């Protein structure tokens, strides 16, 4: 079935030639989507098989210019985002590659849904329909988050969104409308809320590589956090684990990870057996190979700020760190899997497994929602829960997150603001080298300042149009307007 991935012209894949009759044929004439098993197999391609971390991490405030250090990797996909410039490359790790991968995933969901609609016994496909709808919602959510302005209830109805594609393509160079951020969010919510009740974890052979119910509720908690519907964030976060009990599923950094060898740590972080991992995806990516050595990335000053200095609790986080030469810091998260195309040659494709949703994100989403609901004790309890699992020899009295500590550490007498700043700091440390920081920068309108090794400064303010990633040039052939610059 992997030969039957259906690509969308919206994704910039405009090399198709021929006529409408060609598009009406299955990609692989041997494959007809006429059984639950075949539709399930198609849905293994319903997830964006590309990484966004390469460009979002470089755009964020967790990247610094390391200069011409020995072994530094200089690449447009890492360099241009650091300077807030559009990336021209279409290779793995580029925005264009991620756009194409999202629409390829969406095309797979639409073909699955069409097959289900035409099936004589649609009820037999309920689980597959649920997965297709939630996966379609997720891919569109990632697209609208990166390639359109961040959701704001006051402006969402006026800001251009991204095409929400709900049917397989039947014509060459079909035309698409971007709609608005508000209309895209409405369609995401419709797919998400319709799809979740249909999910059935028993329909998957390897649950963590599909939208299982826990991952779907985790996605919903992220979606409603962006939408600022905070009670729904809490409601969905509490449905990820039985009884809303997140703590037993957090990564055991103190008791386990800190005692592992480098190879053991790299092997464990993205394993399906790790309770904290809710949804995983395997992608062609050089991230595992180059994350530490990219010139614009995780450098010593950030290491010192996140892990070698006391945080607001008065302690430091447990975080095993390694280097690959001068100033090339590595967090033990990603391990490359290299697939040779020729067993007798050293050529092939590098793959990296990425966690798309984790227990830690669910905890942080819930904590931020509590702050949005002005439920400060609940938010403080969630941050305390995180801290006691990330501080060695945690002491409930010594390491308590008090108003006095928030005031001293962040210079604010507003406990809510102090807790929010603490939460964002906790997340920055937890998700470093995963590209996740960029989403907080978007949602909270944070300014990013990048400085070069020779002292030049580049500033990205909240109203800077370059915060919105550029849409691929080829998409204009489908009538899609590009973002202003």
For 448, counting Cβ atoms within 10 Å of its Cβ (0-12 exposed, 13-18 middle, 19+ buried), the class is: buried
Report the pLDDT value the prediction gives residue 18, as an integer from 0 to 100: 36
Q: What letter would DSSP give residue 469? A: P
**Percent of the chain scored above 70 by pLDDT?**
94
Q: Whose structure tokens read 């010593």?
A: 300
Report the pLDDT value the prediction gives residue 341, as an integer from 0 to 100: 79
What is the pTM for the complete model shown?
Answer: 0.93
Distance between CA 269 and CA 74 in Å, rounded? 27
- Residue scoring higher pLDDT (55 or 31): 55
Distance between CA 110 and CA 118 in Å, rounded? 12
Per-residue pLDDT band for 348 (boundaries 50, 70, 90) equals confident
Which of 151, 85, 78, 105 is closest to 13 using CA atoms?
Answer: 105
Instruction: Report the pLDDT averaged over residues 111-116.
Output: 98
Per-residue pLDDT band for 326 (boundaries 50, 70, 90) equals confident
Instruction: Report the pLDDT averaged over residues 202-216.
Output: 97
Model pLDDT for residues 268-295, shown as the tens digit of each residue: 999 999 999 999 999 999 999 999 999 9
Average pLDDT of the chain, as a whole number: 92
pLDDT at 9 over 80: no
pLDDT at 27 over 90: no
DSSP 286-318: SHHHHTTTBSEE--HHHHHHHHSS--TTSS---
Four-residue CA torsion sign, 55, 59, 60, 65: positive
Per-residue pLDDT band for 6 (boundaries 50, 70, 90) equals very low
**Percent of the chain scored above 90 by pLDDT?**
86
pLDDT at 98 over 80: yes
Report the pLDDT value the prediction gives residue 334, as an integer from 0 to 100: 94
- Residue scoring higher pLDDT (18 or 198): 198
| CATH architecture, range 1-51+92-203 | Alpha Horseshoe (1.25)
Instruction: Report the pLDDT averaged over residues 147-175.
Output: 93
60 in Cβ contact with 441 (< 8 Å) = yes
Model pLDDT for residues 119-132, shown as the tens digit of each residue: 999 999 999 999 99
Per-residue pLDDT band for 20 (boundaries 50, 70, 90) equals very low
Instruction: Report the pLDDT averaged over residues 210-220.
Output: 98
pLDDT at 207 over 90: yes
Report the pLDDT value the prediction gives residue 193, as an integer from 0 to 100: 98
314 in Cβ contact with 392 (< 8 Å) = no
Instruction: Report the pLDDT averaged over residues 452-458.
Output: 97
Phi/psi region, residue 290 (left: phi>0; alpha: psi -120 to 50; beta: rest), is alpha
Instruction: Report the pLDDT averaged over residues 170-176.
Output: 81
Q: What are phi and psi of 354, to 5 degrees?
A: -115, 135
Give the residue extent of every domain in the chain.
Answer: 1-51+92-203, 62-72+234-445
267 in Cβ contact with 334 (< 8 Å) = no
- Residue scoring higher pLDDT (357 or 172): 357
pLDDT at 397 over 50: yes
Per-residue pLDDT band for 31 (boundaries 50, 70, 90) equals low
Per-residue pLDDT band for 23 (boundaries 50, 70, 90) equals very low
Instruction: Report the pLDDT averaged over residues 360-389.
Output: 98
Report the pLDDT value the prediction gives residue 342, as an integer from 0 to 100: 77
Pairing of strands 448-451, 277-284: unpaired
54 in Cβ contact with 293 (< 8 Å) = no
Distance between CA 478 and CA 63 in Å, rounded? 35
Grouping H, G, I as helix, E, B as strand and the rest as coil, residue 68 is coil
Distance between CA 98 and CA 95 in Å, rounded? 5
Q: Which of 19-23, 53-57, 180-184, 393-397 has the lowest mean pLDDT?
A: 19-23
Structure tokens of 150?
Answer: 């961040």
Structure tokens of 111?
Answer: 């073909």
Distance between CA 13 and CA 428 in Å, rounded? 35
């Amino acid at each position: 079935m992997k030969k039957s991935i259906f690509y969308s012209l919206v994704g910039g894949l405009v090399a198709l030639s021929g006529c409408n009759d060609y598009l009406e044929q299955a990609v692989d004439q041997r494959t007809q989507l006429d059984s639950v098993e075949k539709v399930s197999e198609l849905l293994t391609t319903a997830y964006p098989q590309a990484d966004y971390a390469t460009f979002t991490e470089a755009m964020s405030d967790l990247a610094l210019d390391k200069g011409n250090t020995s072994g530094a990797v200089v690449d447009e996909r890492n360099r241009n985002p650091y300077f807030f410039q559009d990336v021209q490359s279409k290779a793995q790790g580029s925005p264009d590659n991620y756009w194409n991968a999202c629409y390829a995933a969406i095309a797979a969901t639409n073909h699955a849904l069409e097959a289900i609609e035409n099936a004589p016994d649609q009820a037999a496909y309920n689980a597959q329909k649920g997965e297709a709808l939630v996966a379609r919602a997720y891919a569109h959510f990632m697209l609208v988050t990166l390639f359109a302005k961040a959701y704001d209830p006051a402006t969402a109805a006026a800001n251009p969104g991204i095409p929400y594609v709900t049917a397989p393509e039947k014509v060459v160079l079909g035309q698409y409308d971007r709609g608005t951020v508000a209309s895209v969010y409405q369609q995401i919510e419709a797919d998400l809320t319709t799809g979740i009740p249909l999910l059935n974890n028993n329909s998957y052979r390897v649950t963590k590589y599909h939208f299982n119910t826990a991952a779907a509720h985790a996605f919903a908690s992220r979606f409603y956090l962006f939408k600022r519907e905070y009670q729904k964030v809490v409601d969905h976060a509490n449905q990820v684990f039985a009884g809303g009990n997140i703590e037993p599923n957090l990564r055991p950094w103190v008791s386990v990870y800190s005692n592992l060898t480098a190879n053991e740590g790299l092997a464990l972080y993205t394993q399906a057996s790790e309770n904290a991992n809710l949804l995983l995806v395997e992608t062609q990516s050089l991230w595992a190979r180059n994350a530490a050595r990219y010139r614009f990335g995780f450098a010593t000053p950030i290491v010192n700020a996140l892990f070698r200095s006391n945080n607001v609790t008065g302690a430091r986080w447990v975080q095993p760190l390694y280097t690959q030469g001068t100033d090339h810091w590595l967090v033990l998260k990603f391990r490359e899997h290299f697939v040779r195309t020729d067993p007798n040659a050293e050529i092939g494709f590098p793959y990296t497994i990425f966690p798309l949703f984790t227990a830690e994100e669910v905890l942080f989403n819930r904590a931020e929602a509590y702050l949005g609901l002005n439920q400060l004790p609940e938010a403080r309890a969630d941050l305390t829960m995180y801290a006691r699992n990330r501080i060695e020899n945690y002491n409930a009295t010594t390491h308590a997150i008090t108003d006095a500590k928030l005031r001293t550490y962040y210079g604010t007498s507003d406990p809510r603001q102090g807790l929010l700043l603490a939460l964002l700091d906790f997340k920055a440390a937890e998700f470093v080298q995963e590209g996740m920081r960029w989403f907080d920068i978007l949602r909270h309108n944070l300014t990013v300042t990048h400085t070069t090794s020779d002292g030049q400064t580049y500033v990205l303010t909240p109203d800077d149009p370059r915060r919105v990633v550029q849409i691929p040039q080829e998409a204009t052939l489908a009538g899609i307007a590009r973002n202003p610059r």
